[in-house]
Chains A and B, each alone.
Chain A
């Protein structure tokens, strides 16, 4: 039986993880390779590394980091942040990334999704969407949630699938950082509209939020950052909890 995936997300700037402190048994929690390897050992099903660099020099650091991660990491990982072209994706996949996520560049040039899917296959193209619910309307944002667009969440997700995305990573800006649970209703609606896997992001605070997003949100995977990085939820505990709650989980 296909299992639901638990995905820790690591923000990386200039080769270092931005969040992530206080890790038992880890000498340097700022080292993305060490942290990623630890999560893989603990039972994470995939990893996401998000490049939040602001400068070209820092971006160069990220590309070489991807190769180091790939050498150590025994589970699949996605990289995202600042990916604009076929050349960017080619470099990252050749370095050993399994998938790439695109966000702002896809909104600006939706045809990029088609081009990437044709060149590398849909299975490695993740369409990341940040959206905020405003007056009953899910408005899509880009540039790390700073810029609003003319796109609506559900039609953009559907369009992404039609253009060849292999997965949707949806972050609810209303829920992100609140620790009050995922955007279950919107996720449920989206899972009825698309037939590609959906990764839920934003709002994880307790283990029951993960159970809820799988049972009621129809999500195929759930992504979180701080609850894992700050040790509030341990991955082994989370997986035992979900199994007890009759959710298909890898042991």
Chain B
């Protein structure tokens, strides 16, 4: 199997699966530890609320498995936030793959929250390379990961925040590549090309 999509209560699982269909790679949607460990790549989707999602992962014992994986893992949106140490969303302890705290956006009448829509990537490097500089991708989120040493792409909304991160075999994006038209598809392909 090329890809295992982690099966839990994430809202965008089906969209990620459809995006992989369009690219033409084989995948399974699974919460089985053996199947996850055997996949070449892992995608950890996520839409929803942090504490509910973490509870679901704990109930399935995936909270211990995910940080020990050795193949390339891509966290998307809430998936990326759950890879951090702590989320301000209901003060939820998360997976601690990245030793970082997820913060809440302070809304204004000019800058609405959730941050919803297409925004551009800047200072792209690492696994994303430089070809996605200033390209637009789709975001919808109320919490963000501040800029940190693992940041490989930034986006500016209220504050500059981490649009993408990388640490060892763990990769993460705050935006939705599965919903970001051609640019998003290229980013998914870029992840799928990473060698373990």
Contact = CB atoms under 8 A, between A and B. Distances in A.
Q: Are A and B subunits of one complex?
A: yes
B157 A2 contact: yes
B118 A74 contact: no
A76 B176 contact: yes
Interface stretch (A10-18, A117-125, A142-150, A207-215): A117-125
Given A121-B48, A250-B118, A71 B113 contact: no
Contacts of A122: 114, 142
B109 A3 contact: no
A166 B109 contact: no
A192 B11 contact: no
A196 B113 contact: yes
Interface of A: 1-5, 40, 45, 70-71, 74-76, 93-96, 98, 118, 120-124, 166-167, 191-192, 194-198, 218, 220-221, 250-251
B140 interface: yes
Nearest to A121: B48
Given A76-B179, A195-B107, A5 B118 contact: yes
A227 B61 CA distance: 52
A221 B117 contact: yes
A191 B113 CA distance: 12
Nearest to A195: B107
B91 interface: no
Instruction: Please classify how large the interface on chain B is, using the bins under 10, 10 to 19, 20 to 34, 35 or more.
Output: 35 or more
B99 interface: no
Contact of A71 (B21, B119, B184): B21
Nearest to B108: A195
A124 B119 contact: no
B182 interface: yes
A1 B185 CA distance: 21
B86 to A, nearest CB: 19
Is chain A's interface secondary structure helix, strand, loop, or mixed overall? loop
B182 A74 contact: yes
Interface of B: 11-12, 14-15, 18-19, 21-22, 47-49, 107-109, 111-120, 136, 138-142, 156-157, 176, 179-182, 184-185
B57 to A, nearest CB: 16
The 10 A-B residue pairs with the shortest CB-CB distance in the complex, in nearest-first order: A195-B107, A250-B118, A250-B136, A96-B14, A197-B112, A123-B140, A74-B181, A121-B48, A2-B119, A76-B179
Given A74-B179, A74-B185, A123-B142, A96 B117 contact: no
A34 B113 CA distance: 32
Contacts of A124: 11, 47
A102 to B, nearest CB: 16
A96 B111 CA distance: 28
A122 B78 CA distance: 13
A118 B90 CA distance: 12
A1 B117 contact: no
11 contacts: A2-B157, A3-B118, A3-B119, A74-B22, A75-B179, A93-B11, A120-B48, A121-B11, A122-B142, A197-B112, A220-B116
